[in-house]
Chains A and B, each alone.
Chain A
Amino acid sequence: MEALGNLLMGFQIALSPYNLVIATVGIVLGTIIGVLPGLGGANGVAILLPVTFVMPPTSAIILLSCIYWGALFGGAITSILFNIPGEPWSVATTFDGHPMAKAGRGGEALTAAFTSSFFGAAFAIILVTFFAPLIAEFSLKFGPPEFLGIQMLTFSAFVGLGGGSVPKTLASIFIGFILAAVGLDIISGQLRLTFGTVELMRGFNFVVAVIGLFGIGEIFLTVEEGLELRGVQAKVDLRTVTRTLKGLPQYWRTFIRGALIGSWMGIKPGGATPASFMSYGFAKRLSRNPETFGKGAIEGVIAPETAAHAAGVSALLPMITLGIPGSPTAAVMLGGLMIWGLQPGPMLFKEKPEFVWGLIASMYTGNVIGVLIVMLFVPFFAAILRLPFAILFPSIVYVCAIGSFAVNNSTTDIWYMMLFGVVGYVFKKLDYPIAPMVLALVLGDMAESALRQSLIMSQGSPMIFFASPISAVLVTASILLMIWPFISSYLHGDRAV
């Protein structure tokens, strides 16, 4: 019950007028970011990170996490009204959401989506409230080998469960780690991989990389595809909302299934997208009328939205307890933590309880504010996408440039942003996953020092990773995950013969 007492303390922080205003601003900005092409949760948070340097850390994390919730809500709006998934995890929402909107049931679809998002989030937040302190307590015993084990597990999950090409996923991870190693070596103090230039001495900032990879790269892609935005009008009035809400409880199974899938998948990195597809798949298979799916079944909106939002919330669980982010957006927030002078990891619960519990309490307040705001202002958010592209695109590029410059006050970073934009464009076209690269860039220093410290402890023997039961399990599990694609393709090959 200690958690409840802490949560109350957190609410006192999250409900202070200043933090409530911050949360509202975050939700509005986040929803706009989620609606706009080229701006998503990760780079929206990255662009606004410099703004938080002047705030107290707790308000800063509230702002950033609320932008994240807003972006999750915003993704549903574009998916349903415009058939454009603002984020990868909203793809499954388009399957039934857009047909509903075309059939004049847009208001219904939006209400269902927002309610499911809210339910999924609430479910996962309750899990976070009770499990986060336990996990943090448990991981206090972790040393460098165990942390390296967790990191390995994180990255092997991308290889084993990501579903993409194995060499391309690995290449993306290696590139991220190599970019993170550029600059000053934290242990020996030597300069590394600078090729004798002054520009490379500071290393690569992950914020700039995120803005370039996700923002600029995405814009190039959108332009190439020549997207035409033909939205469907929808109004969300009180009658539609109450009518839809009355009909929703009969789908309680879909809700709970989605929330469970989302919370479980979200802990693993990159989990929100597979969670939304998985939840959609289950809903379709177990539905009484599966033939309506894809033509505007309300369950087809509930299932992916519940799972995606639950996964989005539970991605923060490993971030605050272990210092390992579960998604690119969480990775950017983790980077923010370090910039604000906080040491991410289990000690955070002991040293900065007001920060951790303020954040957890703000998840409750943020999502309540979020669901109210998006319900009330859907037409406003949808109108943003009706702005002409020739105004939207240069404005987004301009805002991205401001964000990358502001991190370090360096114009070189704006060049890097453009460079990462080109890399992001090419990688997306060639199916290199980008999320593992971003995570590796953020976690690079931590992973390297965990590895080197472990090796120092064992005087160079790699057997230290199997010395303690926890790290042995973690390392073995990650090795199994790494080779899983080969095993599964072998099994499939067998069956095909």
Chain B
Amino acid sequence: MRKADIACGFVLLFFGGLVLWESLELKIGWGLNGPEAGFFPFWLATGLVICSTVIMVQPFLDHSSSGWPPFVKRGAWLPVIKVALPAFGMVALTEAIGLYPAAFIYLAVYMRWIGKHRWITTVLVSILLPVVSYFIFDRWFLIPMPKGYWPWISGLY
């Protein structure tokens, strides 16, 4: 937890530094229309840099070693990764083949391999959900979902 706190503070510090640099490029002073574009981000980033420094220093000042549970409970990494990876996979697939087919594959893979559901349930749910949402969004509310790069797939629906 302690290491994670420091690491997160460091990431924020880096992010604040980036913003500082960008806003200096934009000029932070007084222009023709009052404060220039970099003015507001500059002070925000200054604030963030100060806060993240405090966040990083605080764990070193706190010498009570007892109150620092581990960032993730032992063995709890696996389930999180099992959920996160397929989800990222679905997003990547969406770019290629469109949201509905990607959702079908994602749901099927997840239910079969992680949920260990029977094939019949798996197939039913993973087909029904995308089909129903296709009719709700693409047809009813006329919000077209991404169809991917390959026309032979998007041509199917």
Contact = CB atoms under 8 A, between A and B. Distances in A.
B80 A395 contact: no
A101 B110 CA distance: 33
B55 A181 contact: no
A270 B88 CA distance: 31
Interface string A367-394: 0000000000000000000001111011
Contact of A452 (B35, B58, B86): B35
B37 A188 contact: yes
Interface string B30-45: 1101111111110011
Interface residues of B, number: 70
B26 A178 contact: no
Interface residues of A, number: 59
A272 B37 CA distance: 36
A188 B40 CA distance: 12
A390 B87 contact: no
A414 interface: yes
B137 interface: yes
B141 to A, nearest CB: 5
A372 B157 CA distance: 41
Contact of A226 (B79, B90, B114): B79
Interface in B86-102: 86-88, 90-91, 94-95, 99
B4 A430 contact: yes
B143 interface: yes
A175 B117 contact: no
Nearest to B112: A390
Contacts of B26: 190, 192
Residue from B83, B99, B116, B141 whose CB has the most chain A CB atoms within 10 Å? B83
A411 B47 CA distance: 32
Interface in B111-144: 111, 114-117, 121, 125, 129-130, 133, 137, 141-144
Nearest to B79: A223
B63 interface: no
A171 interface: yes
Given A178-B44, A188-B37, A406-B143, 14 more contacts: A54-B142, A171-B12, A192-B23, A220-B83, A223-B83, A224-B79, A397-B83, A397-B106, A398-B130, A402-B99, A411-B91, A411-B94, A414-B94, A422-B84
29 contacts: A165-B55, A170-B47, A171-B48, A174-B45, A177-B44, A178-B48, A190-B37, A192-B26, A192-B37, A193-B22, A224-B79, A390-B116, A391-B115, A391-B125, A394-B86, A397-B106, A398-B106, A405-B99, A409-B146, A411-B94, A414-B94, A415-B91, A429-B4, A430-B1, A430-B4, A453-B34, A455-B35, A456-B34, A460-B35
Interface of B: 1, 4-5, 8, 12, 15-16, 18-19, 22-23, 26, 30-31, 33-41, 44-45, 47-48, 51-52, 54-55, 58, 71-73, 76, 79-80, 82-84, 86-88, 90-91, 94-95, 99, 103, 106-107, 110-111, 114-117, 121, 125, 129-130, 133, 137, 141-146
